[in-house]
Amino acid sequence: MPRLPSKTAVITGGASGIGLAIARLFSREGATVEILDVNTEEMNLAVEEIRAAGGTAEAERCDITDAAAVDEVMARVHARRGRIDILVNNAGIAHVGNALTTTVEDFERVQRVNVFGAANCLRAALKFMVADGGGAIVNLASTVSVMAIPDRFAYATSKGAVLAMTYSVAKDFLEMGIRCNALLPGRVHTPFVDGFIAKNYPGRGAEMFDKLSKTQPMGRMGQPEEIAAAALFLCSDEASFITGTGLPVDGGTLTLR
């Protein structure tokens, strides 16, 4: 039996990486998938792929830093599907730098996407979830929400905020049938990671990939599908007694380093 039968799932950043893995898996488990992304070409390809596999999907270009645009898109999704059962706040950006090397502009840019963008999506989806009697939310936080690694000043700040928002929403909307949890992934092998290594370590790609992989106790990076499986669990009825939780999916990073 599918684990998300007839559910409508909004997935931000669902056109690539972890978001795409979540969209694929949720569709296979019976959900109608609504992808929000800024990359039109990638999100259209994702929709085509899901439909070709027999799933139901739509995509809308949406800049999540624009609160009015997010409200409009969520309203269209609700009008199209009749309800929003699931929100996966996956869209985000990263930055490398410490408190002295991170510019004001870069710091603000990361917070606009990772914090304000997530908050915009939460507000827009919660209005419908409250009116319709419940829902499940998963926010993509990070192991750096609760631990330190070098040169992630802006990114760690943003992911700490995402985890705090998770707790707040879980508390405030508990009695309205809304569960809100977060995932705390470690390093996951995505196209973003490949691009990051290529940009910051030219000519040292294989060396740096191996080095970054070995910082995690399991000695490898996670796969997007492994994060998607955890998101599926938290959004399914199997997790009906779980809310306000930050679930590590990190190869032992938080506890075994």
Say whether both 149 and 197 belong to one domain: no
Task: Specify if 215 maps to a domain.
Answer: yes
Task: Specify if 250 maps to a domain.
Answer: no
Say whether both 101 and 204 belong to one domain: no
Say whether both 63 and 120 belong to one domain: yes
Quote the pTM value: 0.97
DSSP string, the chain: --SSTT-EEEEETTTSHHHHHHHHHHHHTTPEEEEEES-HHHHHHHHHHHHHTT-EEEEEE--TT-HHHHHHHHHHHHHHHS---EEEE-------B-TTTS-HHHHHHHHIIIIIIHHHHHHHHHHHHHHHT-EEEEEE--GGGTS--TTBHHHHHHHHHHHHHHHHHHHHTGGGTEEEEEEEE--B--HHHHHHHHHHSTT-HHHHHHHHHHTSTTSS-B-HHHHHHHHHHHHSGGGTT--S-EEEESTTHHHH-
Task: Specify if 77 maps to a domain.
Answer: yes
What are 8-19's pLDDT values in tens digits? 999 999 999 999
How many other CB atoms sit within 10 Å of the CB of residue 10? 29
Would strands 32-37 and 135-140 be described as parallel, antiparallel, or unpaired? Answer: unpaired
Say whether both 130 and 197 belong to one domain: no
Say whether both 150 and 57 belong to one domain: yes
Q: What per-residue confidence (pLDDT) applies to 119?
A: 98
Task: Specify if 2 maps to a domain.
Answer: no
Q: What per-residue confidence (pLDDT) applies to 196?
A: 84
Q: What per-residue confidence (pLDDT) applies to 200?
A: 84
Q: What per-residue confidence (pLDDT) applies to 192?
A: 85
CB 185 within 8 A of CB 15: no
Task: Specify if 256 maps to a domain.
Answer: no
Marked catalytic residue, from 107, 128, 155, 173: 155
Task: Specify if 253 maps to a domain.
Answer: no
Domains contained in the chain, number: 2
Say whether both 174 and 193 belong to one domain: no
Q: Is 167 a catalytic residue?
A: no
Say whether both 90 and 38 belong to one domain: yes
Q: What per-residue confidence (pLDDT) applies to 179?
A: 99
Q: What per-residue confidence (pLDDT) applies to 69?
A: 98
Say whether both 132 and 91 belong to one domain: yes
CB 37 within 8 A of CB 43: yes
Give the separation between CA 184 and CA 245, rounded to whole angstroms. 10
| List of the chain residues with pLDDT < 70 | none
249 φ, ψ (degrees, to nearest 5) = -130, 80
Q: Which domain holds residue 94?
A: 8-186+224-244
Task: Specify if 236 maps to a domain.
Answer: yes
Question: Which token pair is 63?
Answer: 């800049």
Say whether both 101 and 175 belong to one domain: yes
Of 119, 217, 109, which is closest to residue 154 (Cα–Cα)? 109
Say whether both 59 and 127 belong to one domain: yes
Say whether both 192 and 95 belong to one domain: no
